[in-house]
A and B are shown apart, each in its own frame.
Chain A
Amino acid sequence: MSRSARLSLLLVAVFVLGGVAVGATLHAAGRAARSQHPRAGGPAVASGTVRLDDPRRALFRSMAWGPHRDEITAVPADRPDGPRTASGVRCLRFHAAAGTGICLQAVHGTLRDTYRAVVLDHRLRPLRRYDLAGTPTRARVSPSGRTVAWTVFVSGDSYAGTAFSTRTSVVGSDGRGLDANLETYALTVDGHRVHAADINVWGVTFADDTRFYATAATGGKTYLVRGDRTTRTLKALHPNVECPSLSPDGTRLAYKKRVEGADPDAPWRLYVLDLRTLRESPAGEHRNVDDQAVWRDDHTLVYSLPGDFGADLWTVPADGSGTPRRLAGAALAPVFPR
């Protein structure tokens, strides 16, 4: 083939491929623009005042298309699929308790996006900001509202390809006592201290301001650990527990468990562990749950499953009875103020 023939072919390829690339981008851009408009049949969303300490309201990140997408919205607590009041505060992950909120959000920069954690007061005003080292995934506030925790995924670098690890931080909502990386706590498994470099800790759920539960992984296994901020320790209690969530009465933990024999595409099922007996029982949800569940009260779990707009909220009794029910569409990271 002559040089000019090859150059012509290259030119053709550039035009065709460029056309496809531009077309794909324009299509996505058009969809992004459309997503700024509410969709017929979707929930009504209006801006308004949102508070974190109103027990008559439930809160979540609204993922419904429209100008308020990704904002923290309030809905009537007894009717989560009802009209939404949007706060104007955008969060990827969110949690709140006793009038304190934690919001993990993206900061759109000139050359790249970065992420930060923002501690919010009861009217969603920012109190404190922390730069994050990676992509947000979990956020929790202690029952008193005085301590917050968050987890991000850190993907080290391009050479290492797809190796992700987690980093979990805990700090007082007043900004004091920052533990930037829970991996520095002393971890014991079966009474032995573990120093491995592959330790990952994620998914904190608070018992009080100093004691918490979380997942720790090392050597390819995951454990439920009990953490203590004063002694800076993590003690493994039970294997195969991810993203625990403590019941309001402090007696049980809901979590996702990797079950054997499950479809490897969907290995996680929702389980509940009794902390006194360490006996676990499955919840009445048989689909794959990759979320840190939330207790609506001492008997009911709420969690997200993939939906048409990213995620929907579902609910099921914690005692294994009943069947799952859809609570709200296009919603993520629910909070039920008490």
Chain B
Amino acid sequence: MYLADRRAASPPAAPPGGGRAGTDRPPGRRRVTALPSTVLVLGAVSLITDISSEMVTAVLPLYLVAELGLSPLGFGVLDGVYNGVGALVRLVGGRLSDRGGGGHKAVAAVGYGLSALCKPLLLLVHSLPLIGAVLAVDRTGKGLRTAPRDAMISLAAEPAVRGRAFGVHRAMDTAGALCGPLVAFVLLRAAAEGYDAVFLVSFCVAVLGVVVLLLFVPRRVAASRGAAQWAVAAEQAPAGTRTPVRALLGRPEVRRLTGCAVLLGLTTLSDSFLYLTLQRGLELPTGWFPLLPLGTAAAFLLLAVPLGAVADRIGRRRLFLAGHLALLCAYGLLLVPPGGGAALAGAVLVLHGAFYAATDGVLAAATADAVPEDARGSGLAVVQTGQTAARFVCSLAFGAAWTAWGARTAVLTAALGLTLAAAVSAFLLRRAVPAQPPNSPSEPA
């Protein structure tokens, strides 16, 4: 996949910054457009913050069971509630950050700061409901910061390299998530039962993330040259400076993109269900279970940048759909009769990671193409919240299908649904061509 990255760096047909298809420059003269420092700084902030949060996530079960003598099962019930709240908070964060046109940094800083403050609080609470409340505040912080952060990435990056910009951000984010548990483990090695050390170090790391954000992200992320052109070329949102969700959804491209994100989200199994099905279907040894998410994350980490670059080259919507085909292949492998073992599990996890790499940042980049600058945060929040809500509905429906028909039929149904959703999305997104911004790479024409 790194091969694809290099090829995307010197595309003969779609040079970044000039939508003239067919312009042919010698490959040697083309250089990779450097990503703006703001993207890298935001990536660093996410990396640092994810180290901090994953440190806590990694030790929480053991802390509850071995240190506090509690049973963490109650969290399972609360988790769905938190996720619902997080999705709503994301809309609020997006909306707040668009006010006055430059509030992205402030709202993001509040979000990161809120989560940082939760880490030492974990030391002070010793019962499940209170720990749950602290984690809910942590989720609120995460919900608040997501949309403004993505808005800043999209505003800082040239439209032609937006896919790669989001790819780099998601890769840095995932790298942090993979490092966190290792840091926590090293600390617990140095100090047996040093959970207080883990929480305090996690707090320090989180504060460092906020400091980096405050110091190195410009107060108002300047729109890149290409983005400014696009803003001129695209019709301005009708509602003037304030752009409510309704006005956003009044834009056909936003409506189609949101519709597709929701439609595909309705057939996207949650990670837990996928791992559960994988473990049971392939009859994997139980010791492997904790490793399954690592497999997805590793594939995501390796593929996010190259696939982001591919998205810039062949079109974000096209790659977004291709990512769902990878997911469809993963569902297909889940339906293979048991016996494949390690190889089959590996293939499913690589496909699952590729799915995230081809859709997570890529959807944000595609959304940025369709949403005017002054509503960027809200637009990103609307599309992503729609997707999250749809995935939640999918979890409920999949649980019910599993109950009624058994795991195999449920997966088969999800696969059929995904096929249908992908076909409809392909049709809808193919029609969305007129929204072509002048400086974006060649979208499917």
Contacts and interface: CB of A to CB of B under 8 A. Distances in A.
Interface in B257-295: 270-273, 275-276, 285-290, 292-293
A40 interface: no
B293 A153 contact: no
Q: Using C-beta atoms within 8 Å of the partner chain, give the interface range for chain A.
A: 35 or more
B212 interface: yes
Contacts of A311: 69
Contacts of A32: 191-194
Interface string A28-42: 110110010000000
B182 interface: yes
A13 B194 contact: no
A137 B271 CA distance: 24
Given A92-B66, A157-B293, A162 B60 contact: yes
Interface in A196-250: 196-198, 200, 202, 217, 220
Contact of A157 (B189, B212, B271): B271
Contact of A111 (B182, B196, B406): B182
Q: In the complex, which of the residues A133, A136, A157 has the most CB atoms of chain B within 10 Å of its own CB atom?
A: A157
Interface in B27-71: 54, 57-58, 60-62, 65-71
A173 interface: no
A16 to B, nearest CB: 9
Contact of A197 (B190, B204, B276): B276
B192 to A, nearest CB: 4
Nearest to B405: A195
A161 B82 contact: yes
Interface string B119-133: 000000011111010
A264 B129 contact: yes
B208 interface: yes
B79 A25 contact: no
A198 B192 CA distance: 34
B208 A157 contact: no
B275 A157 contact: yes
B54 to A, nearest CB: 5
Given A133-B286, A159-B271, A265-B127, A291 B402 contact: no
A264 B194 CA distance: 28
Interface stretch (A95-103, A164-172, A293-301, A316-324): A164-172
A155 interface: yes
Q: In the complex, which of the residues B130, B201, B275, B276 has the most CB atoms of chain A within 10 Å of its own CB atom?
A: B201
Nearest to B199: A24
A281 interface: no
Contacts of A275: none
B65 A137 contact: yes
A199 to B, nearest CB: 9
B216 interface: yes
B79 A24 contact: no
B69 A306 contact: yes
A164 B132 CA distance: 13
Contact of A163 (B54, B76, B193, B404): B76
A194 B403 contact: yes
Given A135-B62, A156-B272, A266-B127, A24 B200 contact: yes
A272 interface: no
Q: In the complex, which of the residues A1, A112, A217, A306 has the most CB atoms of chain B within 10 Å of its own CB atom?
A: A112
A32 to B, nearest CB: 4
Contacts of B196: 24, 27-28
Contacts of A153: 61, 65, 71-73
Contacts of A291: 69
A274 interface: no
B299 interface: no
B402 A17 contact: no
Given A135-B61, A156-B293, A9 B215 contact: yes
B392 interface: no
Given A29-B190, A157-B271, A166 B200 contact: no
A285 interface: no
Interface string A183-202: 00000000000111110101
A162 B69 contact: no
B76 A165 contact: yes
B185 A112 contact: yes
A131 B62 CA distance: 16
Contact of B57 (A111, A162, A167): A162
Contacts of A114: 287
A17 B286 contact: no
B399 interface: yes
Contacts of A155: 57, 60-61, 72
Contact of A332 (B57, B69, B72, B292): B69
A166 B286 CA distance: 12
Interface string B123-157: 00011111010010001000000000000000000
Contact of A28 (B70, B71, B194, B271): B194
B215 A10 contact: yes
Contacts of A200: 73, 76
B398 interface: yes
B197 interface: yes
Given A24-B200, A131-B285, A113 B185 contact: yes
27 contacts: A6-B215, A13-B208, A24-B201, A25-B197, A35-B193, A111-B185, A132-B286, A136-B65, A153-B71, A155-B61, A156-B293, A157-B272, A157-B292, A158-B180, A160-B272, A162-B60, A163-B75, A163-B76, A196-B403, A197-B399, A198-B399, A217-B73, A265-B130, A291-B69, A306-B68, A310-B69, A311-B69
Given A111-B185, A164-B73, A311-B69, 14 more contacts: A10-B216, A20-B204, A25-B190, A28-B197, A133-B289, A134-B290, A163-B272, A164-B61, A180-B286, A197-B403, A198-B399, A265-B129, A265-B130, A306-B126
Q: Which 10 A-B pairs have the closest CB atoms?
A: A157-B293, A28-B194, A28-B191, A131-B287, A28-B197, A24-B200, A133-B286, A29-B191, A17-B204, A197-B402
Interface of B: 54, 57-58, 60-62, 65-73, 75-79, 82-83, 126-130, 132, 135, 139, 177, 180-182, 185, 187-194, 196-197, 200-201, 204-205, 207-208, 211-212, 215-216, 270-273, 275-276, 285-290, 292-293, 296-297, 398-399, 402-404, 406-407
Interface of A: 1, 6, 9-10, 13-14, 17-18, 20-21, 24-25, 27-29, 31-32, 35, 92, 108, 111-114, 131-137, 153-167, 169, 180-181, 194-198, 200, 202, 217, 220, 264-266, 290-291, 304, 306, 310-311, 332
